[in-house]
Amino acid sequence: MKFLRERFKEMMPYHSDFITEGIKLDANENPYPVPAEMIAHMQNWVKAMSVSRYPDTDSMGLIRAIAKAYNVASQNVVCGVGSDELIDCILRATIEEADCVLAPTPSFSMYPQFTLLNAGQLIQIPLQEDFSYDVAGMIQAIKTHQPKVIFLCNPNNPTGSLLTLEEITEITQLAKGVVVVDEAYGEFCEISALPLIRKYNNIIVLKTFSKAYALAGARVGYGIACAEIIELINTVKVPYNLNIFSQEIATWAIAHKEVFEPIIEKIKVQREVLYTKLKQFGLTVYPSATNFIWLEMPEKAYLALQEAKIYIRKMQYNGKIYYRITVGNEEENMALLKVLGKYLR
């Protein structure tokens, strides 16, 4: 550790348990298998793949498919190893040491992580008591600090709360830096900031294949913005970042996005079932526009789930414990509710 930079001395390595048994409802993954058509396509593709060659460093086949899906030009799209890599690239390309970065809290843990890695100064604006966005607080912070980068997780992870398009527009108009609208869970709600990229040159919308498209293991994310912001990211993005498997499977997914629409609808239906049942147990459950539920519950209920090998996420905020439950399939959700019912009646 003596070789570690001083500013990293208090930083803990990111770790996530690799769970291979029980019911896994802790990582906001899609609980349904990928379509059979996708498996058949990849099996056929493997027979002719050129794994001995480097992949297309620009992922142009995938970029063209994404551009077509959203009716934008190819120069308006960039791909990364998850949206995580793009968050890092945006910060790496824009901020100097001690430059201000603005983000809500609680929110996605990679915003503070990558801000620290890139020597920025993070200003966090707490969500309101009901975990909705404090838009007035963010606007005041923008005026005061003039951040180089602003992160808006919409819908927000881990709380499930949502900004309106009007609120995002107001923040974008006021900002002098880059506004990053992280829509990792965007397919589970009706709001998207994508229309704003045609009007403003300081906004980028990030999306991922990890959630709605059930490709968390492929690690593919993408950003859509004006050509200047895309070029800014490409300036610092490492070459050959996406392997040939990830490029191919994500290209198939976005070109056949209609296949995933029934799966997304099933998750949304199960979200409402889970939300209603948890409320009936008398728990404090917060509204969600995502594929997970943010709530408060007794520790004994959490321990009972662990004993039953049903895994959810335990989190701490402002000295208080909260829990985040991924929406599973019907069988998984019923198993979770059955265990909780024994302890919460």
Please write the tens of the pLDDT for every residue from 255-282. Answer: 999 999 999 999 999 999 999 999 999 9
330: pLDDT strictly greater than 90? yes
pLDDT tens column, 49-62: 999 999 999 999 99
Question: Which pLDDT score, from 0 to 100, does residue 128 have?
Answer: 97
pLDDT at 242 over 80: yes
pLDDT confidence bin for 13, thresholds 50/70/90:
confident
Please check the confidence at residue 235 and state whether its pLDDT lies above 80: yes
Q: Which residues contact 302 (CB under 8 A, 6 or more apart)?
A: 312, 314, 323
Mind listing the pLDDT tens digit for each residue in 66-82?
A: 999 999 999 999 999 99
Domains of the chain are 6-33+260-344 (3.90.1150.10), 36-258 (3.40.640.10)
Confidence of residue 35 (pLDDT cuts 50, 70, 90): very high
Of the chain, the percentage scoring pLDDT greater than 90 comes to: 92
What SS3 string covers 96-155? CCCCEEEEEECCCCHHHHHHHHCCCEEEEEECCCCCCCCHHHHHHHHHHHCCCEEEEECC
2 pLDDT higher than 80: no
Q: What single string gives the DSSP state of each residue in 31-97?
A: -SPPPHHHHHHHHHHHTT--TTS---TT-HHHHHHHHHHHT--GGGEEEESHHHHHHHHHHHHHPPT
Helix, strand, coil shares of the chain, percent, nearest 5, are 45, 20, 40
The confidence score (pLDDT) of residue 10 equals: 74
Which amino acid is present at 79? C
Average pLDDT, the chain: 95
pLDDT in tens, 163-212: 999 999 999 999 999 999 999 999 999 999 999 999 999 999 999 999 99
